[in-house]
């Protein structure tokens, strides 16, 4: 009898191991590159404005945006009476023909609690992404206590953002599934999936990327570096395999702004390289506007000033324009979307409103965007 049990157990175990071992894994990823932008030598475009929201909203932060199938822009952010309060929800607005509709709430802690069947006290840092099939995927950070004890959740919209549903918790760490947050925009993969840049913020801070398939299902996560205090990576694909990542620096002074490179589509990342910029522990975004021409939206010295900087190599940057600058105030957490030659930028304005800046390549040219020589560090 004992021999029979022994045989049965080990035979079953080996069969199960063979089943797991022979499972097919996803194919090697490749970045999907956006259409090359053309330099428009016509009208110069530079417009600014605020996304309208109800007067009772006193706090608005961390915008994200994407473009819908009809060309409208969709923006989301978290807002309420103050950061971390239970009344804070994810708010949304659409921009149609250049006009933003008044913002309305779309996702609340109660909605996520009910759909994920777990208690959630607060929400924040939304990130939206549209897959090729037209489905919108919204990633929301939720927490019961502080942001260091937060979790990541995913919701879908099948009607261009009118409703959000199918909320589910992403299990990303073995320690009570805590301390993973998102901030920066996903990057597309050729198989229809995407990478979502995230970061772990607890005893040590480090960045990761999460891979999703074309249906928005979570596949796996890749740690970009174990270097402490770099987070909120902004990833810029250069070709099918190569990409740069730029990081917020939460460490001690001098808070260098680092660049990191991958040559195999994010599976492995090289060592951190110092750029000529510093980062005052604030979020930044980078886009390749033209081949070999990068645009960064960031806080150069502190959050009182938010600026545009450009580079040819991702290491040497030159500031070309100040978007906002006011002592004692905060302009931060930018989001960027580039389509054709139009660049739309959103950022948190004094943590009270979301400001929209719309510009084009012709305007960037007038600010020296195409200059070939920058001061080396």
Partner 1 sequence: MNTIVNNLPLASVSLLSAWIVAGTLFHLPKIKHIASRKRFIFVLLILVIVRYVPIYDSMSIAYILCGILGDLSITSVLLVLTFLYSEIRENNNYYRINNGVWLIIFIIDLVLCLSAFGCIPIDIYSFGYFPKGLLIFYLIMQVLFWLLNRKFAMFWLLALVGYIFKVLPSPNLWDYLIDPVLWLISLVCLIIFGLQKLINNFFQ
Question: What residues make contact with partner 1 under the rule CB under 8 A?
Answer: 9, 12-13, 16-17, 19-21, 25, 113, 117-120, 144, 151, 168-169, 171, 173-178, 200, 202-206, 218-223, 226, 228
The least distance separating partner 1 from the CB of residue 174, rounded to whole angstroms, comes to 5
Q: How far apart are CA 129 and CA 134, in angstroms?
A: 10
23 vs 35 by CB, closer to partner 1: 23
CA 377 and chain centroid, separation: 28
**DSSP letter at 337?**
E
Tell how many helices (H) and how many strands (E) occur in the chain: 3, 26
The least distance separating partner 1 from the CB of residue 229, rounded to whole angstroms, comes to 10
The least distance separating partner 1 from the CB of residue 148, rounded to whole angstroms, comes to 11
177 vs 329 by CB, closer to partner 1: 177
The least distance separating partner 1 from the CB of residue 173, rounded to whole angstroms, comes to 5
260 vs 330 by CB, closer to partner 1: 260
Q: How far apart are CA 342 and CA 373, in angstroms?
A: 24
3 vs 203 by CB, closer to partner 1: 203
Q: Are 198 and 181 in contact (CB under 8 A)?
A: yes
Q: Are 318 and 309 in contact (CB under 8 A)?
A: yes
Spell out the residues 6+ positions from residue 322 whose beta carbon is closer than 8 angstroms to its own. Answer: 305, 306, 307, 308
The least distance separating partner 1 from the CB of residue 166, rounded to whole angstroms, comes to 11
3 state DSSP class of 139? strand
Q: How far apart are CA 116 and CA 139, in angstroms?
A: 13
Spell out the residues 6+ positions from residue 70 whose beta carbon is closer than 8 angstroms to its own. Answer: 160
120 vs 308 by CB, closer to partner 1: 120
67 vs 169 by CB, closer to partner 1: 169
110 vs 340 by CB, closer to partner 1: 110
The least distance separating partner 1 from the CB of residue 199, rounded to whole angstroms, comes to 11
The least distance separating partner 1 from the CB of residue 143, rounded to whole angstroms, comes to 9
DSSP secondary structure of 257-299: EEEEEESSTTSS----EEEEEE--S---EEEEEETTEEEEEE-
Task: Give the Å distances, CA to CA, from 94 to 50, 65, 97.
Answer: 12, 10, 10
The least distance separating partner 1 from the CB of residue 123, rounded to whole angstroms, comes to 13
Q: How far apart are CA 343 and CA 339, in angstroms?
A: 7
3 state DSSP class of 304? coil
174 vs 328 by CB, closer to partner 1: 174
């Amino acid at each position: 009898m004992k021999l029979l049990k022994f045989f049965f157990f080990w035979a079953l175990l080996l069969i199960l191991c063979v089943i797991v071992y022979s499972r097919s894994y996803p194919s090697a990823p490749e970045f999907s590159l956006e259409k090359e932008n053309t330099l428009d030598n016509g009208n110069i475009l530079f417009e600014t404005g605020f996304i309208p929201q109800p007067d009772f909203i006193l706090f608005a932060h961390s915008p994200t945006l994407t473009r819908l199938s009809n060309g409208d822009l969709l923006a989301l952010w978290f807002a309420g009476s103050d950061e971390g309060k239970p009344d804070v929800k994810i708010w949304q607005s659409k921009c149609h023909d250049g006009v933003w509709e008044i913002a309305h709430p779309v996702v609340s802690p109660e909605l996520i609690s009910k759909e994920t069947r777990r208690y959630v006290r607060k929400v924040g840092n939304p990130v939206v992404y549209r897959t090729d099939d037209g489905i919108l995927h919204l990633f929301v950070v939720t927490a019961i206590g502080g942001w260091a004890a937060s979790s990541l959740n995913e919701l879908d919209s099948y009607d261009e953002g009118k409703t959000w549903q199918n909320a589910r918790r992403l299990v990303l760490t073995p320690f009570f599934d805590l301390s993973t947050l998102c901030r920066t925009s996903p990057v597309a993969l050729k198989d229809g999936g995407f990478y979502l840049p995230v970061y772990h913020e607890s005893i040590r801070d480090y960045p990761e990327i999460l891979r999703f398939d074309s249906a928005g299902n979570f596949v796996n996560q890749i740690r970009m570096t174990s270097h402490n205090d770099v987070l909120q990576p902004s990833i810029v694909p250069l070709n099918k395999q190569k990409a740069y990542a730029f990081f917020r620096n939460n460490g001690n002074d001098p808070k260098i702004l680092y660049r990191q490179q991958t040559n195999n589509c994010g599976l492995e990342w090289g060592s951190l390289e110092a750029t000529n910029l510093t980062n005052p522990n604030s979020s930044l975004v980078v886009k390749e506007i033209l081949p070999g021409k990068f645009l960064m939206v960031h806080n150069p010295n502190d959050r009182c000033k938010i600026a545009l900087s450009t580079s040819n190599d991702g290491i040497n940057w030159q500031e070309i324009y100040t978007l906002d600058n006011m002592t004692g105030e905060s302009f931060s957490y930018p989001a960027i979307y580039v389509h054709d030659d139009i660049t739309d930028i959103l950022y948190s304005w004094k943590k009270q409103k979301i400001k929209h800046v719309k510009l084009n390549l012709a305007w960037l040219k007038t600010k020296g965007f195409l200059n070939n020589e920058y001061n080396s560090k």
